[in-house]
Amino acid sequence: MQKERKLIIAGNWKMNKTVAEAIDLVTDVKLSLASVKEVDIVVCPPYTALGEVSKVILHSNIRLGAQNMSEQNSGAYTGEIAAGMLKEFSVRYVILGHSERRQYQKESDELISKKALAAHLASLKPIICVGELLADRESGNTEKVLETQVRGSLAGLSKEQMEETTLAYEPVWAIGTGRTASAAQAQEAHAFIRGLVGKLFDETIARRVRIQYGGSVKGSNARELMSQPDVDGALVGGASLETRSFADIIKNSI
């Protein structure tokens, strides 16, 4: 499938995998996807496994991502991890504002924008997540919610920083539920988000920025989703925890 932008498919392992399990999984993923050049492949293990996973994927086509980071550089912030610490493990990407963090850690758009700036200052590429709740969709507020999140989370980014940012549209009602947005629903939301990036930055950046879809992506729905003109990849949760299901998504997207 020839796309305008190179696809980026990332596995978000969430709070799963011990170090030993992470090494097994990524070793397998690396072998199984060694010949893939058409897609940027990213794995995002928990912090504790970053060091070992980083060693396994050295000199491979797999890149490393983290699931979160602090907006601060260092200091008295118990339990937090700074961008500079991620860089030590050759982390390239960092997921910011995942809906689980928005929900359980009460992360705001303002905080997410500060994290995004801190990520860029450390040359990490943020993957910024946005997405509406089921109640928002049912009350016809999807675009309003997306607009607030996109404007708030990207606030203060320069054009150059925006070009190095990936967005992820993840309707909250589709995450871990087995209920995927239809390809048409995904395309509509992605086109809306791209339009907003055009308004907030400029048309060239809007054309270049990659927008991933996330929410119950599997091998069986990947092809249809990825064939939508404004869908430039996937952020995969559950199906990234096994080699076969993650590899199927990538192979079916090419």
- CA–CA separation, 142 and 44 (whole Å): 28
* CB environment 233-252: b (16+ within 10 A), e (fewer): bbbbbbbbbebebbbbbbeb
Q: Which of 71, 98, 120, 147 is catalytic?
A: 98
DSSP 3-state of 103? helix
CB atoms closer than 10 angstroms to residue 198:
15
Q: Is the Cβ of residue 225 or residue 239 nearer to ligand PGA in the bound state?
A: 239
235 lines the binding site for ligand PGA (CB under 6 A): yes
- Name which position in 7, 8, 9, 12 contacts ligand PGA (CB under 6 A): 12
- Cross-strand bridge partners of residue 65: 93
Q: Is the Cβ of residue 57 or residue 249 nearer to ligand PGA in the bound state?
A: 249
- CA–CA separation, 31 and 108 (whole Å): 39
176 lines the binding site for ligand PGA (CB under 6 A): yes
187 lines the binding site for ligand PGA (CB under 6 A): no
229 lines the binding site for ligand PGA (CB under 6 A): no
Q: Which of 71, 100, 107, 170 is catalytic?
A: 170
Q: Is the Cβ of residue 98 or residue 201 nearer to ligand PGA in the bound state?
A: 98
Using CB under 6 A, count the residues that bind ligand PGA: 13
- CA–CA separation, 198 and 206 (whole Å): 5
231 lines the binding site for ligand PGA (CB under 6 A): no
Binding part of the chain for ligand PGA, among 32-40, 52-60, 192-200, 236-244 by CB under 6 A, reads 236-244
249 lines the binding site for ligand PGA (CB under 6 A): no
171 lines the binding site for ligand PGA (CB under 6 A): no
Q: Is the Cβ of residue 49 or residue 206 nearer to ligand PGA in the bound state?
A: 49
- Name which position in 40, 109, 170, 230 contacts ligand PGA (CB under 6 A): 170
- CA–CA separation, 175 and 100 (whole Å): 9
Check if 170 is active-site: yes
CB atoms closer than 10 angstroms to residue 27:
14
236 lines the binding site for ligand PGA (CB under 6 A): yes
Q: Is the Cβ of residue 29 or residue 239 nearer to ligand PGA in the bound state?
A: 239
Binding part of the chain for ligand PGA, among 72-80, 184-192, 201-209, 229-237 by CB under 6 A, reads 229-237
In contact, 249 and 217? CB cutoff 8 Å: yes
238 lines the binding site for ligand PGA (CB under 6 A): yes
In contact, 150 and 167? CB cutoff 8 Å: yes
Taking alpha carbons only, the member of 160, 134, 232 closest to residue 191 is 232
Give every CB contact of residue 154 below 8 A, 6+ residues apart in sequence. 113, 116, 128, 162, 165, 197, 200
Report, as residue numbers or ranges, the catalytic residues.
98, 170
Binding residues for ligand PGA, per CB under 6 A?
12, 170, 175-176, 214-217, 235-239
